Amino acid sequence: MPASVWIPLSFHPGYVAAAGAAAAKNPIILGNISMAKKPTSPDKTKAAAKPAKPTAPAKKPAAAAPSPAPVIPAAPTQETLPLEPAPVEVVATETPVEAVVPAAPEVVAAIAEPVPAEPETAAVVVEPVAAEPEAVTAVVETVPVEPEAAVVEPEAAEIVAEPVPAAPPLIDPEPEGEPAEPQSTHVEEPLPDQEPVEVHLEEPEVHHHHRPSLFIVQIAPEMAPVAKVGGLADVVFGLTRELAIRGNHVEIILPKYSGMRYDHIYDLKEVYKDLWVPWYDGAIHCTVYFGFVYDRKCFFIEPHSNDNFFNRGSIYGFKDDVLRYAFFSRAAIEFLWKSGKHPDIIHCHDWQTALVPVFLYEFYQRLGMTHPRVCLTIHNFQHQGVTGAELLKATGLHDPARFFDYNRLRDNQHPNALNLLKGGIVYSNFVTTVSPRYAYETKDQGQGFGLEPTLHTHHLKYGGVVNGIDYDVWNPEVDRHIPAQYGVDTIERKYDDKRALRHRLMLADNAKPIVAFIGRLDPQKGLDLVRHAIFYSLQRDAQFVLLGSSPYQGINEDFWNLKRMLNESPDCHLEIGFDEELSHLIYAGADMILVPSRFEPCGLTQLIALRYGTVPVVRSVGGLADTVFDKDYSHRALHERNGYVFENYDGTGLESALGRAISCYYEYPDHFRELMKNGMRSDNSWNHPGRDYLNIYDYIREK
Ligand code: ADP
């Protein structure tokens, strides 16, 4: 094994999340990928831990003197916004289906075969949540299925029937005793091509650096800027470029949404006319398109059925979301197989594509797709794709006993439901989430929304990689959305952008710092603390700018009310909506960015802010804890300290950090400027994460 390759020695219990430092000493340990273990030395804001002295300076502040204690006036008590994160949604419900769960020993034997994870892992896949053997031998479960979730109404089957395929069936035969459902709402599959058809537009380029080039396929529900809902879209966009720059052949498979930003797709053309994707007892006819999105090679799958899977007003938010993405996952892998593509790595993202490894190892491996290995990245554990037994009928996973098993897809919390994300974890060769701290929080700190036992079972193949940001998009030296470009040596020009921001939002031009919040107005983001911070900032002689929007009407209304309440203030502006261009001006023009999240898998806003010399004030959770290091209390070297951090989710915690930031701005401007520059100098590009993902790919290829 070459020295540059990560070896599973790092899984040793002694290996802790802060692998970065160890990696510097030991080249065989992967840089920023850390297994989900408790961090050894988290940056603690002692001020927050001891609310009685919220602004107490560090005992040994070294060269950076802590900001002096400000006088903290009590913030006005405001009616609070929703606090609790929304529960994981269960999308489908209740049609009885019999699920006979086999006894545990057989389960272990069975799972060792299809799941190509580490042999050690496969041998111990019995999860803590599994029922007692005697209790599971003959359980008959009522499985939830929502009638509306059925894919097609009978009258919807208008596609011309075609002959049954002569090729090996892609769908397992119905198990004995399983009622043969008359699901004839879809047409049958036509004779598929006898030989897989090659549709490579070009041969993968081979770059002979010190490591072999890989053929990597990303299968994702979103990619910026053509179809973006959240950070996942940015990750797919940024990571694919980095992997390609490093000499790999990268292709991306996406749904062809009717509402995509087609103006960002170059040279879109049909490349595969008749892709028939098995679905229920028949198949759905699809067309595959190819186009470039800023040099990225993208395939877009368009199904032709009355389900209109991707032909809707928005990307998510429909009753049949689970079935829509189960179909997309099946279509993506069917396309790989039919077109003769055998990537080294298939990289899937979130629950929407988590069935891909299930399909690969349940169906396609025995059809000859023995080569690919699968990496699954989980961007947020809150959404898992929890559904009922209808999924099995739709996808051809026709063995309820096999799949309604705690070792495979059975949901840990809802015994009558299946969980797509869980299936992805079980079947993938490696699972990542988007920061080492979030990996630890999800496995060991109760942040896994019910998947904690599954993560424990599979901990040997679970780790965290902090996202990067795209330095082509986020670069104050060349950013065309801001009037004054600047870099670390011309940082004073940032104040021209501050003036421009004030002008645009009609804020007073005074000596005050600007505190900003940019993000989805979701309870996850700590909205009650955002609200608290607005009033606190105004009292502390700072200005406040908010840019955000919410899919929840109630939350939007709360913020509209707040906006009306503060309308007269010359020091506050709330912009409720989504505005990418304005976000650039805020990142450039603000002095501080606030991220007080309840939980934050990675967080991109603080990374972008660092790049723009805007000092982050964050809560110490998830990726925020891994990327922002407190000016006064971090154990890091002075030049690595880049912001303010608080721990407790309450007003006192928030004030302890934001108060120090505002005091430093006024009283120690030189120190504040150093913080700004430290952030600008740090590398939060895709450089490190790109290398880390390649190490993971190499690792699962060589196993
Ligand atoms: P999440 O993925 O949870 O939404 P992230 O911090 O990972 O949060 O990513 C948020 C991204 O979306 C950032 O690039 C941020 O600038 C952008 N963003 C969020 N809300 C808005 C908005 N209202 N207008 C413009 N950009 C926004």
Asked whether residue 176 carries a pLDDT value surpassing 50, the answer given is no
Please identify, by atom number, the ligand 1 atom nearest to the C-alpha of residue 587: 16
Mean pLDDT of 471-486: 97
168 pLDDT band (50/70/90 cuts)? very low
What is the position in ligand 1's atom list of the atom closest to the CA of 580?
A: 25
> How many angstroms is it from 587 CA to the middle of ligand 1?
12
What mean pLDDT value characterizes the chain? 79
422 & 531 share domain:
no
Residues 646 and 583 placed together within one structural domain of the fold: yes
Cα(604) to centroid of ligand 1, in Å?
Answer: 7
What is the per-residue pLDDT across 628-643, written as a single tens digit (0 to 9) for each? 999 999 999 999 999 9
Closest CA to ligand 1's atom 17: 519
Strands 215-219 and 615-619: unpaired
**593 Cα to the center of ligand 1, angstroms:** 13
pLDDT of residue 104 exceeding 60, the answer is: no
Give CA–CA dist 28/287, Å, rounded: 44
Q: Which of 555, 605, 619, 627 should be mutated for ligand 1, with most atoms under 8 A from CB?
A: 605
Q: Within a domain: residue 596? A: yes
Instruction: Give yes or no: residues 409 and 476 share one domain.
Output: no
Per-residue DSSP letter, 643: B
Specify the residue for token string 């692998």. 19
pLDDT band of 345, cuts 50, 70, 90: very high
Atom of ligand 1 nearest to the CA of 379: 2
Ligand 1 pocket, mutate which of 470, 518, 626, 628 (most atoms under 8 A from CB): 518
Residue 323 lies in a domain: yes
Of residues 660 and 97, more confidently modeled:
660
Within this chain, do residues 514 and 390 fall inside the same structural domain, yes or no? no
Angle formed by the axes of helices 231-245 and 687-702, to 10°? 70
Nearest alpha carbon to residue 358 among 276, 414, 419:
419
- What CA–CA distance (Å, rounded) separates 151 from 321? 10
The CATH number for 583's domain is 3.40.50.2000
pLDDT reported for residue 37: 55
From the CA of 606, give the closest atom in ligand 1: 6
Please tell me the distance between residue 256's alpha carbon and the centre of ligand 1 in angstroms: 23
pLDDT for position 602? 98
* CA 605 / ligand 1 centre spacing (Å): 7
Is the domain of 423 the same as that of 569?
no
Q: What is the pLDDT of residue 145?
A: 36
Residues 263 and 355 occupy one common structural domain:
yes
Dihedral angle at the C-alpha atoms of 330, 326, 446, 12, nearest 10 degrees?
A: 0
- What percentage of the chain reaches a pLDDT higher than 90? 68
Instruction: Look at the chain and report how many structural domains it folds into.
Output: 2
Contacts of 96 (CB under 8 A, 6+ apart): 142, 143
User: Is 607 a member of any domain?
Assistant: yes
Residue 376 lies in a domain: yes
Gap between the Cα atoms of 288 and 337, Å rounded: 13
Let me know: does 377 contact 348? Beta carbons within 8 Å: yes
Residues in binding site for ADP-alpha-D-glucose: 228
Among 154-168, 193-207, 499-513, which stretch is predicted with the lowest mean pLDDT? 154-168
pLDDT digits (tens, 9 = 90+) for 288-318: 999 999 999 999 999 999 999 999 989 999 9
Decide if 108 is inside a domain. Answer: no
Question: How far apart (Å, rounded) are the C-alpha atoms in residues 403 and 494?
Answer: 56
* Closest Cα to atom 24 of ligand 1: 578
- Domain for residue 400, yes or no? yes
pLDDT in tens, 389-438: 999 999 999 999 999 999 999 999 999 999 999 999 999 999 999 999 99
Rounded to the nearest angstrom, the distance between the alpha carbon of 50 and the centre of ligand 1 is 32
Q: Quick check: is 623 in a domain? A: yes
Q: How confident is the model at residue 14 (pLDDT cuts 50, 70, 90)?
A: very low
Backbone φ, ψ for residue 271 (5° rounding): -120, -15
Give domain status of residue 390, yes or no.
Answer: yes
Nearest protein Cα to ligand 1, atom 18: 519
Per-residue pLDDT for 360 more than 70? yes
pLDDT of res. 617: 98
C-alpha span between 478 and 470 (Å, rounded): 13
Mean pLDDT of all residues in 166-173: 33
Residue 630, φ and ψ in degrees, nearest 5 = -65, 135
> Quick one: pLDDT at residue 230?
85
Q: Are 235 and 467 in contact (CB under 8 A)?
A: yes
Measured from the Cα of 231, ligand 1's closest atom is 2
Supply the DSSP symbol for 362. I
286 and 304 in contact (C-beta within 8 Å)? Answer: yes
Same domain, 541 and 417: no
Residues 652-667 have a mean pLDDT of 98
How far, in Å, is the centroid of ligand 1 from the Cα of 330? 29
Q: In this structure, are 506 and 627 located in the same domain?
A: yes
Binding-site residue positions: 228
Note whether 387 and 252 are same-domain residues: yes
pLDDT at residue 205, rounded to an integer: 54
Which residues are within 8 A (CB) of 164 and not within 5 positions of it... i.e. 6 or more apart?
A: 188, 189
Q: Is the pLDDT of residue 209 over 90?
A: no
Domain that holds residue 616: 471-481+491-685
Q: What is the pLDDT of residue 211?
A: 80
Q: Which pairs from 57-64 meet CB under 8 Å and 24+ separation?
A: 57/632, 58/632, 58/633, 61/632, 62/638, 63/638, 64/631, 64/632, 64/638, 64/641, 64/671, 64/674
- Identify the pLDDT of residue 375: 98
Q: Which atom of ligand 1 is nearest to the CA of 605?
A: 6
Same domain? For 570 and 667 the reply is: yes
Q: What is the pLDDT of residue 190?
A: 41
Of 104-118, 275-289, 672-686, the one with minimum mean pLDDT is 104-118
Task: Give CA 61 to chain center in angstroms.
Answer: 36
Q: 244-271, pLDDT tens digit by residue?
A: 999 999 999 999 999 999 999 999 999 9
Q: How far is the CA of 242 from the centre of ligand 1 (A)?
A: 21
403 and 499, same domain (yes or no): no
Q: Is 555 in the same domain as 614?
A: yes
Nearest in space to 679 (alpha carbons), one of 622, 605, 601, 621: 605
Q: Residue 38 is encoded by which pair of tokens? A: 């408790």
Encode pLDDT of 555-608 as tens digits.
Answer: 999 999 999 999 899 999 999 999 999 999 999 999 999 999 999 999 999 999
pLDDT score of 451? 98
Query: Over 80: is that where the pLDDT of 693 sits?
Result: yes
Ligand 1 lining (C-beta closer than 6 Å): 230-231, 234, 518-520, 547-549, 578-580, 583, 602-605
Q: Answer yes or no: pTM beyond 0.95.
A: no
